[in-house]
Structures are given as C-alpha cells and as structure tokens.
C-alpha cells in the first residue's frame, strides 16, 4: 500500500478481537516487570536498530500464494490441535497465519516461557489445512516462507469454546474484540506521514514475543519490535478480554530521521453510508459502517462528536487537543434493525476508546476520510499528532489504554447528553393541507439522549446553539422534546454557498445558559 490507498481488510466479517491491559500496575499477582525478558530488552533492540540503516523485509512469496483471492486465502487455516499451549490448561492459545496475498513478509514470532526463556517458532506447512486449494509441496516448502501473523484465542466463559480475541497481521495492524462482539475497526502501532502527497510509510512489527500464561492468568502480555525507514519502536500490549476488552499499550519510539507526521494511537475503520449520509443506491440495508463518528474529550474543550462521512474526494481536518483526555472511533447504535445485515453484523462491532496513560502534551486529533465505493476498504483513519516537532535523539514515550466496547454510555460524561443518531434530510415546510414541500435547505436532525435529560419535563427551557462556517448560512435551528427517547430532538437547517467546498456545522443543547450536551460537529463533504 502507498499514499492514501484504503487499507484492504483481511476479513471484515470475522469475529473482532479484544484488547486488554493494565500497564505499569500489578496484573493479578505478578508485576509486569518480573519477566527475565521484557520491555527494556525490546527497547534496547529498537534503539540499536535505529542506529543502523533500514533493511526492507524480504518478500519472495511464490505467485501461487501471492495471487490468491481473499476467499482462497481464507481456506488456509491453522490446525486447532496445533494451537500453542492447547491442552495445558492455559486460558490463552496461539495460532499462526500463513503468508499469502499481500501478506508477503514473515515476522519472527517467539514465546517467553514461565522461566523467562525465549523460544522461537518456525513455519511448518504441516500445521495448516489448505481446503480445496491445489498448492504443491514445492510451494509450501519454498525458501523464505514464514509466519505472517498470530491469532490469540481465548474462551470468554469458563469451559466454553475458545475463539479468536486478538490478531496481529499486516504492518503494525492489530484487531481485538470483547465478548459477543465481531471484528470491526483496527488499531495500529504507528502511523507515519498519513495523508501526505509524498505517500504514507507503513511501519511493521518485525518481531513479536508472547509471554506464556499460567493457568490462572487473566491477561496476556505481548511485546513487539517495530521497524520502518523513519522510526523504530518497542511495544508492550497487555490484553485483558471481557465484555469490555482492554488493552494497555506501552510504546517507546526511536526516530531514524525527522518525521513530518507521527500519528500516535492510530485507528482505522470503515464508513460507507448511514443516516448521516444515506446511500445513493436503493438498498434494504439502511447503514454499512464499522464506526459512525469520532468522539473527542479534551480536558480544556470538553466533549465533541463528529459524525463520519464518505466524501466524494479526500477530506482531512484536525481538532486541537491542548490536553487530550481520550478519543475514539465509535459505533453508536447496536440494534440489529439499524443495519439489517445478517452476515456482517455491524450491530456487534465495537467502539474503540483511547485514553493516554502518561503525559502527551498539546496536540490535535486528525480525521482522514477517504472516498470508497465498497465496504471492503478501510477509508477512515484517526490519530493524535503532537504540536511539538520531534527530531532524532531522545526516545519518545506514549502509553495509552484502548477499550473495546458496545456500551458506549459507560464511557461518557453522565452530566452531558450525547447524540444518539444524526439524520440527514431535505429541509421542508408543511403547508396547511399537510403537504410537505422542500424549502431549499439541507436539514440535519439530531437526537440527544442521556441521564442528564431524563429528569427534565417537556416544558424545560431547552434551546439549541448552532452555527455554520464561512461557506454557508444557518437557515433555522430548533429543539423539541422527544417523548419516545425521553430526550430532545434538534433540527438544524443550512444553506451552502459553494457546493464544491465542505461546510462545517456545529450544534449543542443549552438550558438556561448552561451547556447540556456534547458538541455536535459535522463537516458536510464537498459535492456531497
């Protein structure tokens, strides 16, 4: 991949993983620092690697594997009875992913046993089944073939079936899920120069170490060594699966050269269409997306909600975060009726919420939205960017927690209402004969809900504070009580001056001069 080409997914229809971690705290009864081989060792490797010239990974994948379609590649499966630690009573097991398609470079995968000894894993074609594929033994045993990635398996219920909860595959991408969730958005170790005309650089995890769990372990620790032409890095992931799966990420970065855009805690997702931007094609599925908004909480500016879009052309914007409290790509709406998609189950795809665990300083959240005509492309990227320019020298430390959840209300401010749904519509007037006629405006209908609104009667002195950017005008705005949700519905009608340019629109609930909701902020795409 290069530039802004959307990331092709391995499987947006597979069960999505779950991350978990406790970073720096005692996990169970064992400190994270107790390993004979640990984070400091990976950091030393990263620092030494940064002093050397970059060496691109070898990619000698035979055409018989490189030219596989997705459905063909999916037939290559690791044998369940070969799972590492299977049958030992461990709460986690590992399975390995075969090289194929664009996954054409192997990683070095290791385990760390309970005595602290490191053991490397080797590729063995006998560990896999190949379905209906006709792949010769010569291809299977080709020189240079290795392990492309690793799946982490776990049973959420004691004695239940063991399922995949986390996967590392491709560059620095990883995915995770909580209980009864399915695969959706992805995390990345690092984003470098994303969205620049010069093209994006994709750092990769070249080596991974997984600490062997005990029978009593409630978490799994993974170390990873990152490498790219511009930067190296040491990572520690601590995975704790649950209804909300948590992952604490500890990272130390070493620059080989100055980087124009160093994206920290990046998230990648997909938005095709939804009520915010209805499909131009008549379809029984009302929404196709893994995330439908960007949520930001800044200690100085409060909570803001940015609905996503599928623009006609590349759209990038930033929101300043002088003191970031958290941000995430969220999937608001988990009713099957919101999607009506039996196979993909977008209703079960989680939100990902990122919280810094150390001091990041002033910066901004960047949202990149890429045009896409199908749901197989990850066309949404978000990341945090520091205001301070980073130069080679001292290591950079960014630690954070990722929460994978389908109950977003537990991670919001109960003192503020939030946008349950954004709907886009034509503006209209209702004549005396009840005929609805367009009024020449574009309307956005926002339903605000939350416990802060529950005790307010329909006669509360609620108002809406709305505004638009320079490329348009606010036609009307109003708010009405919504007895169906025990919340309030806001109508914002706008006119855009130049359809070839985006239009920024803001709105929030006010009660007697007090802000009662997060700030809704929508960037209407150009030509959209």
Per-residue pLDDT tens for 77-119?
999 999 999 989 899 999 999 999 999 999 999 999 988 899 9
The residue behind tokens 């239009």 is: 503
Record the tokens describing residue 280, joined without a space.
Answer: 């131009």
Tens of pLDDT, residue by residue over 370-383, are 999 999 999 999 99
Residue 122 falls inside a structural domain:
no
Instruction: Supply the mean pLDDT for the chain.
Output: 91
- Can you read off the two tokens belonging to residue 361? 């300083």
The helix (run of H) or strand (run of E) holding residue 222 is: strand 220-227
- Count of domains observed in the chain: 1
CA dist., res. 300 & res. 283, Å (int): 42
- At 192 the pLDDT is 97
Query: Is there a domain that residue 201 lies in?
Result: no
Mean pLDDT, rounded, for 433-462: 91
Q: Is the whole-model pTM more than 0.85?
A: yes
Answer yes or no: are the C-beta atoms of 508 and 521 closer than 8 Å: no
Q: What is the pLDDT of residue 329?
A: 98
Q: How confident is the model at residue 350 (pLDDT cuts 50, 70, 90)?
A: very high
- Domain hosting 509: range is 418-524
Q: How confident is the model at residue 29 (pLDDT cuts 50, 70, 90)?
A: very low
Parallel/antiparallel/unpaired status of strands 173-176 and 163-169: antiparallel
Task: With respect to residue 511, please indicate whether it lies within any of the assigned structural domains.
Answer: yes
Q: What would the pLDDT profile of 159-218 be if each residue is shown by its tens digit?
A: 778 999 999 999 999 999 999 999 999 999 999 999 999 999 999 999 999 999 999 999
* pLDDT at position 26: 30
Whether the CB-CB separation of 218 and 246 falls below 8 Å is answered with no
Question: What residues does 249 pair with on adjacent strands?
Answer: 237, 400
The HSE-up count of residue 324 (CA atoms within 13 Å, CB side) is: 33
Give Cβ neighbours of residue 60 (< 8 Å, ≥ 6 apart).
142, 143, 144
Contact criterion met (CB below 8 Å) for 226 and 206: yes
Residue 154 located in a structural domain: no
Q: Is residue 326 part of a domain?
A: no
CATH number where 432 lies: 2.60.40.10
Query: Is residue 453 assigned to a domain?
Result: yes
Between 3-12, 334-343, 365-374, 480-489, the lowest mean confidence (pLDDT) is in 3-12
Q: How far apart are CA 430 and CA 197, in angstroms?
A: 48
Do 404 and 351 meet the contact criterion of CB atoms below 8 Å apart? yes
Percent of the chain with pLDDT over 90: 84
pLDDT at res. 58: 86
What's the sign of the alpha-carbon dihedral 25, 28, 31, 34? Answer: negative
In a domain, residue 473? The reply is yes
Q: What are phi and psi of 452, to 5 degrees?
A: -65, -20
- Distance, CA of 427 to CA of 439 (rounded, Å): 6
What digits encode the pLDDT tens for the residues 266-279? 999 999 999 999 99
């Amino acid at each position: 991949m290069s530039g802004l080409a959307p990331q092709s997914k391995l499987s947006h229809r597979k069960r999505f993983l779950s991350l978990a971690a406790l970073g720096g705290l005692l996990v169970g009864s064992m400190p994270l620092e107790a390993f004979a081989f640990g984070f400091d060792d990976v950091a030393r490797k990263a620092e030494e690697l940064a002093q050397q010239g970059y060496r691109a990974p070898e990619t000698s994948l035979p055409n018989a594997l490189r030219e596989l379609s997705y459905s063909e590649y999916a037939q290559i499966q690791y044998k369940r009875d070969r799972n590492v630690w299977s049958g030992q009573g461990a709460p986690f097991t590992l399975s390995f992913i075969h090289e194929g398609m664009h996954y054409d470079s192997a990683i070095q995968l290791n385990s760390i046993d309970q005595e602290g000894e490191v053991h490397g894993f080797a590729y063995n074609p006998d560990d896999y089944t190949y379905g209906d594929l006709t792949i010769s033994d010569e291809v299977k045993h080709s020189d240079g073939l290795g392990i492309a990635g690793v799946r982490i398996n776990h049973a959420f219920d004691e004695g239940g079936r063991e399922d995949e909860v986390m996967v590392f595959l491709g560059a620095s991408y990883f995915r995770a899920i909580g209980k009864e969730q399915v695969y959706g958005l992805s995390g990345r170790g690092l984003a470098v120069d994303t969205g620049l005309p010069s093209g994006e650089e994709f750092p990769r995890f070249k080596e991974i170490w997984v600490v062997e769990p005990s029978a009593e372990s409630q978490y799994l620790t993974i170390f990873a060594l990152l490498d790219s032409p511009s930067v190296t890095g040491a990572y520690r992931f601590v995975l704790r699966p649950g209804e909300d799966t948590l992952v604490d990420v500890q990272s130390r970065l070493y620059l080989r050269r100055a980087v124009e855009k160093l994206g920290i805690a990046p998230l990648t997702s997909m938005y095709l269409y939804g009520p915010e931007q209805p499909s131009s094609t008549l379809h029984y599925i009302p929404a196709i997306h893994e995330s439908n908004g960007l949520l930001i909480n800044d200690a100085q500016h409060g909570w803001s909600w940015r609905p996503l879009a599928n623009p006609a052309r590349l759209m990038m914007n930033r929101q300043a975060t002088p003191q970031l409290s958290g941000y995430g790509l969220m999937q608001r709406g988990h009713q099957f009726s919101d999607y009506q998609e039996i196979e993909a189950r977008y209703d079960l795809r989680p939100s990902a919420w990122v919280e810094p665990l150390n001091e990041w300083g002033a910066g901004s959240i960047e949202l990149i939205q890429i045009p896409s005509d199908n749901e197989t492309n990850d066309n949404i990227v978000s990341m945090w960017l520091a205001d301070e320019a980073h130069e080679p020298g001292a290591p950079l430390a960014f630690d954070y927690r990722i929460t994978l959840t389908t109950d977003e209300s537990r991670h919001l401010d109960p003192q503020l209402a939030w946008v349950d749904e954004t709907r886009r519509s034509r503006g209209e007037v209702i004549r005396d004969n009840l005929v609805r006629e367009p009024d020449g405006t574009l309307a956005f209908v926002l339903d605000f809900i939350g416990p802060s609104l529950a005790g307010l009667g329909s006669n509360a002195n609620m108002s809406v504070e709305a505004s638009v950017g320079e490329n348009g005008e606010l036609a009307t705005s109003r708010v009405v009580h919504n007895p169906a949700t025990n919340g309030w519905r806001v109508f914002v009608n706008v006119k855009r001056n130049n359809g070839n340019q985006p239009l920024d629109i803001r709105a929030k609930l006010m009660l007697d001069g007090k802000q009662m909701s997060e700030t809704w902020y929508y960037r209407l795409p150009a030509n959209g």
